[in-house]
Amino acid sequence: MGSKFTITIVSSDSSQALQNIQLVENEVSRIEDLISDWRPNTYISQINKNAGITAIKVPLEVYNLTKRAIYFSEITQGAFDISYAAMDKVWKFDGSMQQIPDSQTIKKSIVNVGYKHIILNDNDTTIFLEKKGMKISFGSIGKGYAADMGRRLMLGLGVIGGIVDASGDISTWGRQPNGKSWVVGVTNPFKPNKIKKIITLKDSSIVTSGSYEKFALIDGKRYSHIINPATGYPATGIVSVTIAGPSAEFANGLSTSIMVLGIEKSKKLLQQFPNYHSYIISDKGKVHN
């Protein structure tokens, strides 16, 4: 998935632990073979190749993942959108950008983006992209989904504790070998050497989205590398969002959406999901819980 996975297993048998780690690795590879938009023979690649041409029948697992992604699009009015993959790259975040692209260029960059043009058919589990040139990608929630599925696999096998860390999309279960709960320290990007909050995890997940490492600074204003797929403009106002809750996939959907929606609109979104807790840092360094 273009990301580093770190798998931790609690076990008194190192040989068995290694076997279980391999099983998680196999599960991640299985999921990548289903949803990668880089590998040419996956279902997602076939859907993208046939945009505007024909619907593609997919396994129920892929269908339901797509359905959940569209649900996020609906509750965020398009702030989250897996069809962002068709967006033209008109913004640069390598330090070279000195001015904002003109409005027509930005408008043109999202012409093939729009979740409402992803057509699902429940009867035969097909997915059709209505417009030629459309693409979908699970770069936003795919890692979290894989982490959740790795945890689910281990729980099903009776493994007493562990962590699946998909480059920061973390799913945990059970406890540490010393009997204590898993804990994660959250830092403020403006003060990275100081832990601002300790979050205790038990059979739960934690995910962070942010613009503190990759952004453009134009006329003193910070523009995130996370683009609002509905407008083509980068997210502003927030540098870091950490979400903790039952599912890494769902937490990632929330964190990505919050980066785009901003602090005020995100408050209403988070109220709908009391099992998920946030730690948001604005571009002024202010913390919002």
Domain limits of the chain? 1-289
User: What is the number of other CB atoms lying within 10 angstroms of the CB of residue 156?
Assistant: 8
- How many beta carbons lie within 10 A of that of residue 192, not counting itself? 9
Would you give the DSSP letter of residue 227? B
The set of residues, in sequence order, having a beta carbon less than 8 Å from that of 13 and lying 6+ positions away, is none
Q: What is the pLDDT of residues 135-193, one digit of tens each?
A: 999 988 999 999 999 999 999 999 999 999 999 999 999 999 999 999 999 888 888 78
What pairs with residue 12 in β-bridges? none
Total residues found in the chain within this entry: 289
140 is known to lie in a ligand binding site: yes
Q: Is the pLDDT of residue 264 over 80?
A: yes
| DSSP 8-state class, residue 95 | S
Tell me: pLDDT of 1 over 80.
no
Burial of 132 (0-12, 13-18, 19+ CB in 10 A): exposed
Residue with tokens 């408008």: 107
Residue 211's pLDDT is 85
Whether 39 and 2 have beta carbons less than 8 Å apart is answered as no
CA neighbor of 136 nearest in space, from 87, 91, 209: 87
Is there a binding annotation on residue 126? no
pLDDT of residue 62: 98
The reported pLDDT for the residue numbered 188 is 82
CATH 1.10.287.130 fits 1-289, yes or no: no
Q: What is the pTM (predicted TM-score) of this model? A: 0.94
Pick from 162, 140, 142, 167: nearest CA to 152: 162
